[in-house]
Amino acid sequence: MKTVETHPSGLALTGIIGAPDSLARNITATIEDLATDLRELSHGIHGIAEVGFEERLSVAFAAEFLRYRGFPVQVGRYGLRTSLRAEAGSGSPKVAVLAEYDALPGVGHGCGHNVICAAAVGAFLGVASQIGELGGSVVLLGTPAEENGNGKELLARAGAFDDIDAVVMLHPFTGEYEVSSFASLAVRDVEVSFHGVAAHASSAPQMGRNALDAVVAAYQGIAALRQHIPATDRLHCLIVDGGSAVNVVPHLASAVVEIRSLDPDGLADLSQRVQHVLEGAALMTGTRLETTWDPFPAYLPVRSNDALAGRYHGHMSSRGRNITRETELVGGGWSTDLGNLSVRVPSIHPTVSISRENTPMHTVEFGQHAISPEGDAAIVDGAVGLALTMADYLADDRLREQAKLDFEAAGGVLDVERLLTPPSGE
């Protein structure tokens, strides 16, 4: 007998019962029977450790894992050669679970994307095993380059999500507890070059216009700006070129600035302020500014769907996971390209703990947790949580309606192109 779920807002989700218990048990058993194979998939991808857009062996491994079990797989769709799509069932509703498999340069799987991939594959296979009884369709989408290229935005622009009604995925984390929904930060980069005039630094400095002075002034201006932005926002700056000879006035210097904000409007406002700092640095040094905004598409904040997050929370609690529904800015504020989908379609992006020890992401130590016994257990639990959430969505039209209402109440479909417009120069 299913109990009535309590919505995070405090409202009862009246009449939502989800998938029948018998189907839920069968889905769970299918995933648990795959535990050893999913561990091998996770560890194999961890050992390959390919960076974004270059995940050719990783996606091939995942594709063969699915083909061996009888599922047709398409690799390289939507203009990205390391994308993946597999599907079971037919027609609507159609729910997708997302896999990531890219690693970090020099760090490997220090963000645990091997766990994400294995859990997504397990969830897909679990739901696919009962899709005839559930109705509708389940899709597995492999999304390249979360770390360095916003693969999900590129896939969305190519139409990969046009037929998808809801999206689920998870992310490994460390610590005592997990969250069924969290707040992430929007993020965008701007590549900056200052063009000056070269001159002999000793005999004719008056003839030069120092591009290094400009980039240093920009760096200092951004450092000063940090004092006057919301506590949740972030600014990072790296000088990547400051000249090549100490006795020559640098005619070219460059930097990269990264901007993060808790909401899209905040990102736009902070981006414009950074643009003004850069223009000021050029003006005060007599140099010419050149900017390239968004060398890859900007990431938007995740908008978690309350109805779907509530179902996931219940299923993970039943697995004995220490999970909370509170919306948290996990880890002080990180960013993911799932945010770009969450303003297009109802989505969730919960966390699953792979170690009770708090370990920063993007480190070798975090990557070691991603192939630990706790990491392997998180794959199975996470796959079950995602699969049962998808099964509930497919089986229960009231859940689908509540997810739609929650999505619309949070702002509905947003104009992503407008949100990602670069700031204007003066």
C-alpha 241, offset from chain centre: 30
Are 310 and 8 within 8 A, CB to CB? yes
Write the pLDDT tens digit of every residue in 155-199. Answer: 999 999 999 999 999 999 999 989 998 778 999 999 999 999 999
pLDDT value of position 112: 98
The architecture that CATH gives domain 186-298 is 2-Layer Sandwich (3.30)
Does 331 score more than 90 pLDDT?
Answer: no
The answer to whether domain 21-183+299-409 and domain 186-298 are alike in fold is no
Write the pLDDT tens digit of every residue in 98-119. Answer: 999 999 999 999 999 999 999 9
Are 251 and 198 within 8 A, CB to CB? yes
Predicted TM-score (pTM) of the model is 0.92
Write the pLDDT tens digit of every residue in 335-344. Answer: 999 999 999 9
Average pLDDT over residues 30-34: 98
CA distances from 287 to 196, 281, 380 (A): 5, 8, 57
Distance CA 334, CA 329 (A): 8
CATH fold group of domain 21-183+299-409: Aminopeptidase (3.40.630)
Compute how many other C-beta atoms are within 10 angstroms of the C-beta atom of residue 105.
10
Average pLDDT over residues 287-309: 96
- The H or E element that residue 88 is part of is strand 84-89
In the block, tokens 């597999």 appear at 86
Write the pLDDT tens digit of every residue in 255-273. Answer: 999 999 998 899 999 999 9
Average pLDDT over residues 81-99: 98
* Amino acid identity at 422: P
First to last CA, the chain: 64
Distance CA 309, CA 325 (A): 8
Band (pLDDT 50/70/90 cuts) for residue 10 is very low
* Amino acid identity at 249: V
Write the pLDDT tens digit of every residue in 124-164. Answer: 999 999 999 999 999 999 999 999 999 999 999 999 999 99
In the block, tokens 């460059």 appear at 254
pLDDT value of position 1: 31
Crossing angle between the packed helical segments 35-48 and 113-128, to the nearest 10 degrees: 150
Q: Which of 161, 82, 219, 70 is nearest to 345 (CA)?
A: 161
pLDDT value of position 4: 38
pLDDT value of position 12: 44
Distance CA 82, CA 404 (A): 31
pLDDT value of position 223: 97
Phi-psi map region of 108: left, alpha, beta (phi>0 left; psi -120 to 50 alpha): left
Does 250 score more than 80 pLDDT?
Answer: yes
DSSP type of residue 78: G
Does 70 score more than 70 pLDDT?
Answer: yes
Band (pLDDT 50/70/90 cuts) for residue 229 is very high
Residue 79: φ, ψ to 5°:
80, 5
pLDDT value of position 345: 98
Band (pLDDT 50/70/90 cuts) for residue 13 is low
Contacts of 56 (CB under 8 A, 6+ apart): 50, 81, 82
pLDDT value of position 400: 97
> What are the structural domain ranges in the chain?
21-183+299-409, 186-298
Which two three-digit tokens encode residue 349?
A: 């992006």
Write the pLDDT tens digit of every residue in 391-404. Answer: 999 999 999 999 99
Q: By percentage, how much of the chain surpasses pLDDT 70?
A: 94
Which is it for the CA torsion 337, 341, 342, 346, positive or negative?
negative
Distance CA 426, CA 321 (A): 52
Which parts of 242-281 are beta strand (E)? 252-261
pLDDT value of position 108: 98
Partners of 380 in the beta sheet? Answer: none
Compute how many other C-beta atoms are within 10 angstroms of the C-beta atom of residue 395.
21
